[in-house]
Amino acid sequence: MTESIKLDLWNLTANMTAATDAQSIFNVLGRVHPVERVAKLLYTLNGGSEREVVFNSNGKRQGRLQHAGDFNIDTINMVDLEGCNQLRFCLIDLDGRTLEQEITFFSRPVAGPRPGFWLDLSTVQYAGQIGQIVDGRWTVSQDNKGQPCLEICEEDAGYDRIILFGRQDWTTAYEIKARFCVTRWCAPVHNIGLLFQWQSHRQGNGTI
């Protein structure tokens, strides 16, 4: 029996409220599998025009798409979002069969216009509820002291793993305090740190 094609979303869950306004783009990340059976992936937002989604088709890293089937939609602008949003996907397999998948999610800014943000993970299940995910599969987990933290698991490590907090219009008059814990280096070169005034990736196909 031929394995059915499937789509997993990393930063959206049905009826969750997604954090916004940290940048002018709203990324949607996930993976289709088995990738060798997927011919095309399309999406529509709130009944708008249908757009094709680029995904990693061969398992070799393609820019920010690390593994086979990975995709990163970066063609949704903040002005395209509503309070309540319907995102519909259409997967087409090599035999021309289609699988449609729809998700409803809400969106709102996490932070106010004045600089001030506390990463409180005690009331959230998903990383996308507290920060705006740009790259990677971020999860709410526990650190080595048993405290809640945001984590990139070893199997999800890769080129660019970014989550944003606050608002894009914050400029000065604030400072950042954070704690990092690295459990393992899994590539010859790694960087870890904080970025101020993040400039969005160039829009296109999610690889740049």
* Paired tokens of 47: 């009944």
Residue range 24-41, pLDDT digits in tens: 999 999 999 999 999 999
CATH number for the domain spanning 135: value is: 2.60.40.10
Whether 113 is in a domain gets the answer yes
Count the domains in the chain.
1
In degrees, rounded to 5, the angle at the alpha carbon of residue 164 between the alpha carbons of residues 159 and 166 is 170
**C-alpha to C-alpha distance for 60 and 99, rounded to whole angstroms:** 25
For β-strands 17-20 and 98-109, DSSP reports them as parallel
Whether 158 is in a domain gets the answer yes
Whether 199 is in a domain gets the answer no
For β-strands 17-20 and 6-9, DSSP reports them as unpaired
Which is higher by pLDDT, 81 or 160?
81
- Indicate the pTM of the whole model: 0.92
Which is higher by pLDDT, 65 or 110?
65
Which is higher by pLDDT, 146 or 87?
87
**C-alpha to C-alpha distance for 21 and 126, rounded to whole angstroms:** 17
Whether 185 is in a domain gets the answer no
By three-state DSSP, how is residue 125 classified? coil
- 102 with 87: CB under 8 angstroms? yes
Whether 72 is in a domain gets the answer yes
pLDDT of residue 161: 92
* Longest Cα–Cα distance in the chain: 61
Model confidence band, residue 165 (pLDDT cutoffs 50, 70, 90): very high
Question: Distances in Å between the alpha carbon of 42 and those of 85, 141, 142, 208?
Answer: 17, 32, 35, 19
Model confidence band, residue 1 (pLDDT cutoffs 50, 70, 90): very low
Whether 191 is in a domain gets the answer no
Whether 204 is in a domain gets the answer no
Residue 176: what residue type? I
Residue 55: what residue type? F
* Paired tokens of 207: 């690889």
Chain centre to alpha carbon of residue 98 = 24
Whether 78 is in a domain gets the answer yes
**C-alpha to C-alpha distance for 41 and 53, rounded to whole angstroms:** 5
Phi-psi region of 140 (alpha: psi -120 to 50; beta: other; left: phi over 0): beta
For residues 121-134, average pLDDT:
95
Residue range 89-121, pLDDT digits in tens: 999 999 999 999 999 999 999 888 888 888 999
pLDDT of residue 171: 80
For residues 154-159, average pLDDT:
87
**Which domain, by its residues, includes 92?**
6-164
Range from 81-85, 151-155, 186-190, 193-197 carrying the lowest mean pLDDT: 186-190
Model confidence band, residue 195 (pLDDT cutoffs 50, 70, 90): confident
Model confidence band, residue 79 (pLDDT cutoffs 50, 70, 90): very high
Sign of the Cα torsion 190, 194, 197, 201 reads: positive
